[in-house]
Amino acid sequence: DTGVSQDPRHKITKRGQNVTFRCDPISEHNRLYWYRQTLGQGPEFLTYFQNEAQLEKSRLLSDRFSAERPKGSFSTLEIQRTEQGDSAMYLCASSQTGGSGEQYFGPGTRLTVT
Amino acid sequence: DAKTTQPNSMESNEEEPVHLPCNHSTISGTDYIHWYRQLPSQGPEYVIHGLTSNVNNRMASLAIAEDRKSSTLILHRATLRDAAVYYCILRESGTYKYIFGTGTRLKVLA
């Protein structure tokens, strides 16, 4: 399967703990996006990478959130000192430069903070 | 900020056409209109996109108003597998930020 993969698919953590999620984009895609989706809402943009450079970050993203994409391949999203409000589905998407900009989404990581 | 407005839900009978509307009055001249859909327990899936002219692909058609302030996604023959939440999306001008609304939940009746 050459689609976007995310790991883990589910994560349950206690409030105050740190969590890290991984996204493996489609191999030839140089653009990578992270979104957060809560129940009944559409995905909310978090951040964007072009290769290894983080070019866009939502103003809504607190400093407890950090994302990296070393070497322009896989990406990680870390949440420090998790809060119950962080419970959501975290989606990763990738796309190629140019063309339609069609984004291919992964299955998401569902985070539950207890 | 770029913003789209869609009805919360719509229903269609199987094998009939479905017209899903979207208002995007804040769209800028160079922004594409994108449509994605999300099936239960899955990530969103690309459906179609367009700039000014109407567009067709194997999944759907996209009709764009002349003033570009609204568009309509057309599913020519709805099937049960088309039941999903459909999102009309704009990219915020000058950024890489894509804005999803709350989408339209399409229910297809057998």
So what's the pLDDT on residue B41? 86
Q: Are B50 and B64 in contact (CB under 8 A)?
A: yes
**Three-class HEC string of chain A:** CCCCEEECCEEEECCCCCEEEEEECCCCCCEEEEEEECCCCCCEEEEEEECCEEEEECCCCCCCEEEECHHHCCEEEEECCCCHHHCEEEEEEEECCCCCCCCEECCCEEEEEC
Within 10 angstroms of residue B87's Cβ, the number of other Cβ atoms is: 26
Nearest CA in chain A to B92: A45
The pLDDT of residue B96 is: 87
Judged against a pLDDT cut of 90, whether residue B76 lies above it is answered with yes
The predicted structure's pLDDT at residue B93:
81
In the prediction, which pLDDT does A99 show? Answer: 65
Q: Is A30 on the interface with B (CB under 8 A)?
A: no
Average pLDDT over residues B9-34: 92
Q: Which residues in chain A have their CB less than 8 angstroms from residue B34's CB?
A: 101
Going by pLDDT thresholds of 50, 70 and 90, the confidence category of residue B1 is low
> For residue B81, what is the enclosing H or E element?
none
The mean predicted confidence, pLDDT, of chain B is 92
Quote the pLDDT of residue A71: 87
* Residue B104 confidence (pLDDT): 97
Q: Which of B73, B86, B74, B82 is nearest to B38 (CA)?
A: B86
| Interface touch B98/A44, C-beta < 8 Å | no
Query: What is the per-residue pLDDT for B94?
Result: 83
> Which residues of chain A carry a pLDDT beneath 70?
1, 99-100
pLDDT at B81: 94
For B97, nearest residue in chain A (alpha carbons): A45
Give the mean model confidence (pLDDT) for residues B57-63.
93
Q: Which residues 33-52 of chain A have a CB within 8 Å of chain B?
A: 33, 35, 40-45, 48, 50
Instruction: Say if residue B64's pLDDT is above 90.
Output: yes
**Confidence class for position B29, pLDDT limits 50, 70, 90:** confident
Chain B residues within an 8 Å CB radius of A30: none
CB A74 within 8 A of CB A54: no
A102 touches chain B (CB under 8 A): yes
Cα–chain center distance at A11: 14
- Smallest CA-to-CA distance from A106 within A29, A40, A41 is with A29
Q: What residues in B contact A44, CB-CB < 8 Å?
A: 100
B42 vs A: CB within 8 A:
yes
Q: Does the pLDDT at position B23 exceed 80?
A: yes
